[in-house]
């Protein structure tokens, strides 16, 4: 704006303009001169206003720091409120779905616990049957002293069969002669005796034998000692058999189940 130059360029007349610089003094020079000029009473108003602006700006910035919502307009507040309401609805939906999930999981865990308990109970029952867990209860111990080794496997098998018929639920045979012990299960076989020891399910058991059976003691004892029964047949072989009833017995010899080679569980029926 060359037409307004003459007002403030009184000191530029002696200055030779360098290349590519306008003939008038540069803006920075003018700014510096204005700043370093002797104070002018007319500038007091300018200073006051600029100071007021700085003060207001600082106050506003500081107010914004602590009360963000206080300066908001009604429309903005309504918008913020709307946003918050939508957010809270979303969060409530989320809470509801999470609670439903939690209920499902809790009830699922409950039914799973029930199923687990039932399965464990069944495993215990089946384990007693299969000889894989110890069993305890009332029963009898039949002690067979057989110094001449004349009680053979057939007789022993008959005794076990009688015990099973009488409702024996868990049976073990202890050979006191060589401290051996066998749990009698469904696939236990009887061989011998050979060299004074009977092969019971693969274990050599030497007499005297202790046959421990858990079941109703009276029934089991009766099944052993009826006329022409097991006890009398054993005594026919010049051996001694004594039956003692107990209120509490433990069958604690365990049977190692072998994996089945051919049989595998058939799939259950769909409607089962």
Partner 1 sequence: MIPLAGVLLGVLAGLAFDVSVPLELQPYLPIAIVAALDAVFGGVRAVMEGIFNDKVFVVSFIANVLIAAFIVFLGDQLGVGSQLSTAVIVVLGIRIFTNVATIRRLVFHA
- Footprint of partner 1 on this chain (CB under 8 A)? 1, 4-5, 7-9, 20-22, 24-28, 30-31, 34-40, 42-60, 62-63, 70-71, 73, 75-76
Least distance to partner 1, CB of residue 104, Å: 47
Structure tokens at 220: 């089991």
Centre a 10 Å sphere on the Cβ of residue 97 and count the other Cβ atoms it contains: 10
Shorter beta-carbon distance to partner 1: residue 14 or 259: 14
Least distance to partner 1, CB of residue 46, Å: 5
Shorter beta-carbon distance to partner 1: residue 13 or 36: 36
Least distance to partner 1, CB of residue 88, Å: 24
Least distance to partner 1, CB of residue 4, Å: 5
- CA-CA-CA-CA torsion for 226, 232, 234, 235, nearest 10 degrees? 150
Q: Is 127 exposed, middle or buried (0-12, 13-18, 19+ CB in 10 A)?
A: middle
Shorter beta-carbon distance to partner 1: residue 7 or 16: 7
Provide the b/e sequence for 9-43 (b: ≥16 CB within 10 Å): beebeeeeeeeeeeebbeeeeeeeeeeeeeeeeee
Q: What is the DSSP letter of 140?
A: E
Shorter beta-carbon distance to partner 1: residue 72 or 100: 72
Least distance to partner 1, CB of residue 89, Å: 25
If you search the block for the tokens 């209120």, which residue do you land on?
A: 247
Shorter beta-carbon distance to partner 1: residue 26 or 111: 26
| Residue of 133, 118, 153, 141 whose CA lies nearest to 237 | 153
């Amino acid at each position: 704006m060359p037409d307004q130059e003459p007002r403030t360029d009184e000191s530029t007349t002696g200055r030779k303009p360098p290349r590519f610089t306008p003939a008038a003094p540069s803006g920075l020079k003018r700014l510096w001169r204005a700043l370093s000029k002797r104070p002018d009473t007319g500038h007091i108003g300018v200073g006051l206003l600029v100071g007021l602006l700085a003060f207001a700006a600082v106050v506003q910035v500081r107010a914004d720091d602590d009360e963000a919502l206080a300066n908001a307009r009604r429309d903005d507040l309504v918008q913020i409120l709307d946003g918050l309401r939508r957010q809270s609805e979303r969060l409530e939906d989320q809470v509801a779905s999470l609670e439903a999930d939690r209920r499902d999981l809790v009830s699922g865990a409950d039914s799973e616990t029930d199923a687990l308990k039932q399965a464990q109970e069944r495993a215990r029952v089946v384990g007693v049957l299969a000889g894989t867990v110890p069993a305890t209860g009332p029963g009898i111990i039949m002690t067979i002293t057989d110094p001449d080794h004349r009680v053979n496997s057939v007789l022993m098998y008959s005794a076990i069969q009688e015990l099973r018929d009488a409702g024996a639920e868990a049976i073990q045979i202890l050979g006191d002669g060589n401290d051996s012990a066998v749990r009698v299960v469904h696939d236990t076989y009887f061989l011998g005796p050979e060299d004074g020891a009977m092969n019971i399910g693969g274990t050599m058991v030497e007499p005297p034998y202790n046959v421990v059976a858990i079941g109703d003691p009276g029934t089991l004892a009766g099944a052993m000692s009826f006329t022409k029964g097991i006890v009398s047949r054993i005594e026919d072989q010049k051996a001694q058999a004594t039956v003692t009833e107990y209120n509490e017995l433990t069958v604690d010899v365990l049977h190692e189940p072998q994996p089945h080679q051919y049989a595998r569980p058939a799939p259950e029926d769909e409607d089962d």
